[in-house]
Structure 1
Amino acid sequence: MASIDNLLVSLFVDEVVGGFLVTVPPGHVGCIYSIFRGVLKNVWYPGMHFKIPIIHRVKLFNAQLIEYTIAKDVFLKDNKEIMGDELIHAVTADNKFVAVEATVLIKLDTDRLPEIWQNIGENFVSKVVRPVTRSRIRKVLTNHSLVKSLSTDRSLIEDEVKQELRDSLTQHGLYVENFYLSSLTPIDSPINMDEGPELPKDIKEIKNERLISGLRTDSTPTEDQSQNPSRSSLPHS
């Protein structure tokens, strides 16, 4: 499985031997950081370039087409910046759960790399690509029934997701070349759906918790008081 190293490569140049020259290999572009001016707007393309030792640092980005894979054999616990995602669980228009495996082909907008590095940083897979991909896939599937998703609507779903991803990721300097559905598998219930906010507790649950913890409030009378309201008004001796 490709990792973030396929998208972002650090270039460490010896400051003593050959520290004035930087070679950008084919398929990559270089961004320059100056300790005085920050991230510079110009981008270095493949070839040999001159830099000032100590003052300049160069970061290499992969300018080739990157494969972002959504599959069951991807595990995010080991590396949050891996170029992929675990199975995405979604709900269809007829309230059926499906597990999605897919591939997204992404390419960096090389002219906007300084902007990406400056505003998003190196961890834009976990910050942008993964949450946007999950959201747009789930959004599109809510418009298609399970039967049609598995048959006639498959190509339509691919086109809709591709357009949704393009609309969302282009503003971040990421161009989506294509989107391919590998599989849609019906499941009984979601396994790893993103956890939502905790649902509010009802009155009965709150009362039970208060009884267990021994708490009493004026607005929540005990069972004994509710059955004998006169006892609750008796003065204490």
Structure 2
Amino acid sequence: MRLIIGNKNYSSWSLRPWLAMTALDIPFEEELVPLDAPDFKDRLRERSPAGKVPVLIDGEAVVWESSAILEHLAERFPDKGIWPAEPAARACARSLATEMHNGFGALRSVAPMNLWRPVEPRAFPDEAMKDVRRIVRRWGEARARFGAGGDFLFGAFSGADAMYAPVATRLRTYAIEIDPVAAAYVEAIHCHPAFVAWKEAALKETGALAEDEVDWPVVKRV
């Protein structure tokens, strides 16, 4: 299998399937297409009608959209733990992942993923903070009900954690105050070896994108 992704510093959608596949030991080859490459759209449209990253190529199957990739992987590798084994937990995990895929636009629009930006507080509008409160509430509910077996939303790392990992980076990057349960979960994401590997690669990148730099024209780097 081959996973086509964008810049590791900025591409939150690329992080999701990459993190799931790496964390759960699903073998794949990585192809990175810089988001600011002049031929980005052309290169992606050769592989996917959406013309966006990520794209998973699995033989004759071409899968785009992070949530669809996770479902494809769950079918291909039912024993890898993309979703929890217990039915109620699995249903909750899929619901949370879908809510992340379709929602929280206010937060995403003002707090882009930017792994090389130093941790610095930033004021956000009320709508974005409503998203934060809803996310934190969902995390707390999942941890209380299903998280006893580990540090992640459903105990062991799953596709739900892959979907929310970019949010965890945003909460840290912009120093957003959250409760202790959510803070522990953010720490667990940042400490996972797969995420550490992604971030190490992200910090070596050089191309800056104005739309993802909230301090533009200043580009702050750790």
Structure 1 and Structure 2 fold alike (TM over 0.5): no
- The TM-score normalised by the length of structure 1 is 0.22
Q: Which has the larger radius of gyration?
A: 1
Higher share in strand: 1
TM-score where L is the length of structure 2:
0.23
